[in-house]
Copies of this chain bind each other. A is one copy, B any other.
Amino acid sequence: MIVEIVTTGSELLLGQIVNTNAAYMSSRLNDLGFDVLYQTTVGDNHDRMKAVLEHALSRADIVITSGGLGPTQGDITKEVSAEIFGRKMKVHEESKRRMEEKFIQRHVTWTENNMRQVILPEGAEVFLNYNGIASGVVLENNGKYLINLPGPPSEMKDMFERSLKPFLKRKFGFKHVIVSKVLNTMGLGESLLETKIKDLILAQSNPTLALLIRPAGVIIRITAKADTREQAEILIEEMEAKIRERVGKYIYSIDDEKMEQVVAKLLKDNCLKVACAESCTGGMLSQRLTSIPGSSAYLDGSVVTYSNDIKMKFLCVDENLLKSKGAVCAEVAGQMAEGIMQLMEANLGIGITGIAGPTGGSKEKPVGLVYIAVAGKYGTKVTENYFSGERDQIRYRATQQALSMLRHYIMEHDKL
């Protein structure tokens, strides 16, 4: 069954609010095995809304709207929908009774325009609103469904789960389910990653593969369609195994798990303490490491060392080195990592020094050049990185790379 989601409301067209309803409904409908092929947003204008809904009904089997069920003159979705299906509007007694009860409960003063919320298309299946007043409706006409849900997310979501989902199950059963799994990768660019699994992407049918760029790296999304979740998961496992054969070492987590969570777990499991000496990232790495509850288990302290004096004073970075090569070089990063490890008496130390921009770059040392070092019992590892983007993107990518290096350092060495 093809579904189109039509969200209504001028605030969406004015860009005053972000359309979270479309994302929520799409995500849930896909989980239930429906294909959402279109999302359309139109304002509270009779002619345009009517044209949009009629066009939607011409290319989809099920059209689900959100918004425009309220008491004001601008709320016209129900009326337009009824018009398209040639239905009269009449008071829905149960909705009316429940509304009146609510007004009494809440000691809210009654205004006549509230009646608009309980005047519904004749012969419609009604979804009562347990989070508000405006009822939802389902209109059906030779196999096409037009479903009106309220706009406020809390009301829409409650009605979706409580009434729409059971309705869809009753009408269509759920022939199949769609399950997705995301593999988060770090260390390979999008195009390089694609070349390594291109044949899998081109040969894809079920499961399907998609590569998406995220600030934290490139993600591989595997999406499988099957009769049961179990079968879908088996399909995903088979594909995941093939992908891991090619690029396994670059996959650091699954689905929503962040790099800092992965690293935090590694540190805890190995009873390790880490300390950071941050120059261009200015505390962002420590902030990410401490964003995990219980981070005091693996981090006692860190320093932000912006000036050379502080680098020398706290981290014992060699003054002559700073004079000869400048603060942004591999050796300084290494000394920062070793210095902070000793200063905080930690098992591992991280040093970051670079040019976050937008100014301060040169031909030899361009904006985005960042040296990152990880120091530990097995020596100090330094990388030279060229990150693109704006100041904060460069800073974020530097912390992501630092966490990735920390992860590899811990995984590759025993008994740190």
Contacts and interface: CB of A to CB of B under 8 A. Distances in A.
A15 B40 contact: no
Interface stretch (A118-126, A136-144, A291-299): A291-299
A66 interface: no
B11 A15 contact: no
Interface string A242-279: 00000000000000000000000000000000001010
Contact of A310 (B37, B107, B154, B300): B300
A204 to B, nearest CB: 10
Interface residues of A, number: 111
Contacts of A55: 55
A28 B11 contact: no
A359 interface: yes
Nearest to A9: B212
Interface string A10-26: 11111111111011111
Interface in A45-84: 45, 48, 51-52, 55, 59, 70-74
Interface stretch (A163-171, A233-241, A389-397, A406-414): A389-397
Contacts of A284: 283, 287
A238 B191 CA distance: 54
Quick one: copies of this chain in the complex? 2
A275 to B, nearest CB: 9
A362 interface: no
A387 B108 CA distance: 10
Contacts of A18: 18-20, 23
Interface in A74-116: 74, 102, 105-109, 111, 113-114
A145 interface: no
Contacts of A59: 51
Contact of A296 (B11, B202, B291, B307): B307
Question: Which 10 A-B residue pairs are closest in the complex by CB-CB distance?
Answer: A282-B290, A15-B27, A283-B283, A283-B286, A15-B26, A39-B41, A301-B310, A283-B287, A300-B307, A302-B304
Given A131-B389, A287-B287, 11 more contacts: A16-B23, A72-B190, A105-B386, A282-B286, A282-B287, A283-B287, A283-B304, A293-B358, A301-B310, A302-B303, A310-B344
18 contacts: A11-B212, A12-B39, A14-B26, A14-B180, A17-B23, A38-B41, A38-B42, A70-B213, A71-B191, A71-B194, A73-B202, A131-B389, A282-B287, A282-B299, A283-B302, A293-B358, A300-B306, A300-B310
